[in-house]
Structure 1
Amino acid sequence: MALPPEILEKILINCDGKTLLTARNVCKLWGDLVDYLSKKTPLWRWCCHEEIPKKELTQYLIHYNKEEPNIWFYIYKNWMTWQNIHDIRFETVLSPAEIPRITCIDVFEEYIAVGSEDGRVRIYDQYWKPLVITRHQAEKVSKVTFFYSDSILKIVTAFSKAIIIDDLFGDGYNHLILEDVVSHSIYKNYICYQKHGGRLTIEKLTNSNGRLLEETWFTRVYSPKNITCINMWNGVCTILISNDVRKVNYVSKNILPASEYHEKCLLNFSSIPNSLTSQQTHHILRDDIIIVLYRAENLVDKEYMEVIMLEGGSKYVKKLFNTTEVLEATITCICLYGNTLVLGVDTGIVYFYHVPSWKHFTIKEYAKRVIIGKHPITNIVVRETKNHRKFYITSSFNIHEVIGFSTYF
């Protein structure tokens, strides 16, 4: 005997998200009941906050249109789908855009920005229709980044010694050049940039009172120490100074210019062969994961990857992997999106990992291996929609869209 809809509602309202997704596919009655509950209560929002780790959920929310009425349902469905990458169906599409010597890429909502060695930045819509071409300097574009400032979409273009901030479709009046910049990082409407000489500054990007930047915090790092890597993420700026990790909560109400770091941690990097100390590349992922690649100048020696998991205060855990032995290549690009780690290598292959826990992560257990081409992978960025995740993967010559579709739910 079938249960009355009222009883089914009381049962479903107490189910977890995975059960609700399964229930939607039982029959039309069950599907209608789950959808009715979704409209009647913030059902999927509860599931997202209860089941998705906070750091992952923060990243997913950036990629969704806040006006989407079913945003929480789509976030949860995609998150649950990507718990098992083996069940994802991948399609690879070559971009129709012909861009010489690609150096960087960024995507935001329906826009794609591509930088090249000739100094040009080309803006496209999601269907690769050309919208804007800019060229501020006749030199290599090292990085392009979209961001919103007071509801105006802007773009930051980085060169070897400067960054330039523009309105995406502006008239040229809101145009700012920051000279002598070595590196920078952006999160939402905040930017942290390092200048030659060791000065590090965090500023808020704004359009109020005719100004584009409002200084929030600064410090100076003196020789012989040097700033190795910086990363802005969710209100925290993580700074690696040689082997010293320092954090600044730049949205705190108590922060003042030149105020002290709110957290410090001294790292002890792994002992590796001396031949591999000549080249080190550091990546800060979010505010709790640091990846260091050790590589020799000659291509005969092996490459090692060290994963450092920051646990707060002075505590951390680390792992060391021989990447050449497992991947038979060297890593050229790293992307972390939610619970998915993507590694691009110099042989044109991309490896997808599901990482529910970094303490149990091993480089041997990749879930998918996608062959893109024969050239080194240089950039990986992600656009998520309600139906799939799309990874824009570039070499110097091509851009491929690797699209992951769910086979369930």
Structure 2
Amino acid sequence: MPCEILLPRELIELILLYCDGQTLCAAQHVNREWKDIVNYLDKKYKIWKRSCIEDIPKLELLQYTTLPTTDWHQIYENRTTWQDIQQNIRFHTKVFETQSANKEITCIAATDKYIGIGLGSGKIIVYNQDGVQLKEFTIHLGTSIKSIHFITDEDQNTSIVANYYDMLIIHKLVLETFDALNEYNYGVVDNHTAFDFYKTFFSGMSSRSPYLTIGRFTNDDLNENHTIIANILMHDINYGYGLQLRLLTCILNENLCLVLAMNMMYIVERDDQPNAQFIVRVLMTMPELGREGFRGINLDVWVMNEDVRVSCIRALTTSDPQVMYVHTPTKDIDPTTKYFLPQEVFETVITCIRLHGNTLVIGTLKGWLYFYEINKREDWQTFDIANYSHAMEIDIAFGPVKYISVAEREQRLFYVSSSWDKIRIVTGKIK
């Protein structure tokens, strides 16, 4: 006969206050009273925020906390669930209905509230999380939208930033519609060919200028909707000889940015101190293929952060297959560089890679998705694309996987798109 031990509520609160996140997850599922206790402790002591900070690596946590108001409990629960995909996750796929029939989808973006799609015609369509269309507008007829990004300030004002040609344009969202006064606010940031975003911060660089721009969107009602934090001179980048510069930027936070130019990877960083200056240093040299090195290859897809650089490349002048490089340049473990041949593993090439928190997703030309668990930095040391946690075919008629965007809600949602008018939502629910 089981023995039931009854403890005073005050004692249970005191015990749970000093428990780790895993114990708190178990405690809230004991019964309704224990769940209420955990919720009470979170309101009073922010125990889920503490658990996230203690248990989730700093760089990974930055990917989850993109909004000023963060649901720390949801972050911890989702992250814990996705630590073991095979054991915990049951996948479901459904169609996300869009109004873009027979129109080329060039980019997608998803948040906890909105889904946005950019089209090759220059049009942007914004939906709420229930799939209800909120707005459809055209940036520049016939000019493809390269990327879109949602930003939310501390006052919960949300704007959408669109990148087309060499410009960023910002549009303010007010009460789930667009403020007509700001609907066509052109020229927010121009003369740049490579952009990236983190929260309300952005990085931008042009193939015609040796300067990296780091700025912040302000959501002001003025014509200038951004402030420039710094223009950093990239001394070592060679712009001569009429070469087409392979240029990519990746901003990780307001004090750290990565730049890929030609075959060199640069890190641009500063201390988190007032008036601190950005310092540029070479981080690594990318692997070279073909007689002309990085200038002679196709960079198909890539992801990078402080822990890892993943790139899929093919030589332009040879019949060599696609090669996937995984480089871990971290300081406290031995740096490694390994490569894989995707066609030997997947019988096709990789068309899209998305690293979101502790989940790596690979999309292929044949419309398959492959999911991997990356729970700690050391997992990159033993990473092998043949050892995926889950593989699923979205739809063979759906075509190649081109874009993947992720939203953290009650479950982790993956919005997957081909190059035309099809979007699928892949949901990982707890078994």
Q: Do Structure 1 and Structure 2 share a fold, with TM-score over 0.5?
A: yes
Where do 1:176-187 residues align within 5 Å? Answer: 176-177=186-187, 178-187=189-198
Structure 1 partner of 2:265: 245
Taking the aligned partners of 2:302 and 2:422, their CA distance within structure 1 comes to 24
Aligned-residue offset at 1:269: 2.0
1:264 aligns with 2:282: yes
Q: Does 1:203 align with 2:209?
A: no
The superposition leaves residues 23-48 of structure 1 with CA deviations (integer Å, 9 ceiling, x where unpaired) of 33345565555455445543323322
| Cα distance in 2 between the residues matched to 1:293 and 1:278 | 10
Alpha-carbon distance between aligned partners in 2 of 1:365 and 1:392, rounded to the nearest angstrom = 23
Q: 2:89 corresponds to which residue?
A: 88
Q: Answer whether contact 1:229 1:283 (CA < 8 A) is retained.
A: no
Q: What is the SS of the residue equivalent to 2:27?
A: helix
| Residue 115 of structure 1, aligned match among 118, 141, 158 | 118
For residues 265 and 204 of structure 2, what CA distance do their matches in structure 1 show?
A: 17
Structure-2 change in CA distance of 1:282 and 1:310 (3 Å): farther
TM-score by length of 1: 0.86
Tell me which amino acid in the other structure corresponds to 2:421: F
AA in 1 matched with 2:185 = H
Aligned length: 398
Structure 2 counterpart of 1:223: 239
Matches within 5 A, 1:358-373: 358-373=380-395
CA contact (8 A) 1:160 1:182 kept: yes
Change (3 A) 1:65 1:371: farther
User: In structure 2, do the counterparts of structure 1 residues 30 and 9 end up closer, same or farther at CA, with 3 Å as the change threshold?
Assistant: same
Query: Quick check: 1:48–1:72 contact (8 Å CA) kept in 2?
Result: yes
1:171 aligns with 2:211: no
SS of 2:208 mapped into structure 1: coil
| SS of 2:72 mapped into structure 1 | helix
Q: Compared with structure 1, are the counterparts of its residues 209 and 390 closer, same or farther at alpha carbon in structure 2 (3 Å cutoff)? A: closer
1:336 aligns with 2:336: no
| Structure 2 partner of 1:3 | 5
Decide whether aligned partners of structure 1 residues 195 and 299 sit closer, same or farther in structure 2, where only a CA change above 3 A counts.
Answer: closer
Change (3 A) 1:377 1:13: same
Q: What RMSD, in angstroms, separates the aligned Cα atoms of the two structures?
A: 3.0
How many angstroms does 1:321 deviate by?
1.3
1:78 equivalent in structure 2: 78
Does the CA-based 8 Å contact 1:270-1:320 persist in structure 2? no
Verify the 8 A CA contact 2:68 2:154 in the aligned structure 1. Answer: no
Partner Cα distance (1:164, 1:28) in 2: 48
More deviation in 338-347 or 302-311? 302-311
Secondary structure (helix, strand or coil) at the match of 2:366 reads: coil
Q: What stretches of structure 1 move > 6 A for 4+ residues in a row?
A: 270-276
Cα drift, residue 318 of structure 1: 1.9
Amino acid across the alignment from 1:171: A
Aligned partner (choices 126, 132, 136) of residue 135 of structure 2: 132
Is the 2:299–2:312 Cα contact (8 Å) retained in structure 1? yes
Q: Deviations over 1:273-318 (max 9, x none)?
A: 99995323452433432212122459974221001223259x8432
Counterpart residue identity of residue 223, structure 1:
Y
**In structure 1, distance between residues paired with 2:318 and 2:425:** 30
Letter in 1 for 2:267: K
Identity, % of aligned positions: 28
Distance 1:34 1:255, change over 3 A: closer
User: 1:204 is matched by which residue type in structure 2?
Assistant: R
Distance 1:21 1:108, change over 3 A: closer
CA-to-aligned-CA distance 1:18-70 (integer Å, 9 cap, x gap): 2332333345565555455445543323322221111222222226844xxxx
2:384 alignment partner, SS class: coil
Mapping for residues 15-164 of structure 1, pairs under 5 Å: 15-27=19-31, 30-31=34-35, 34-35=38-39, 37-39=41-43, 41-62=45-66, 65-66=69-70, 71-86=71-86, 87-99=88-100, 100-137=103-140, 138-148=142-152, 151=155, 152-164=157-169
**More divergent stretch after superposition (333-342 vs 360-369):** 360-369
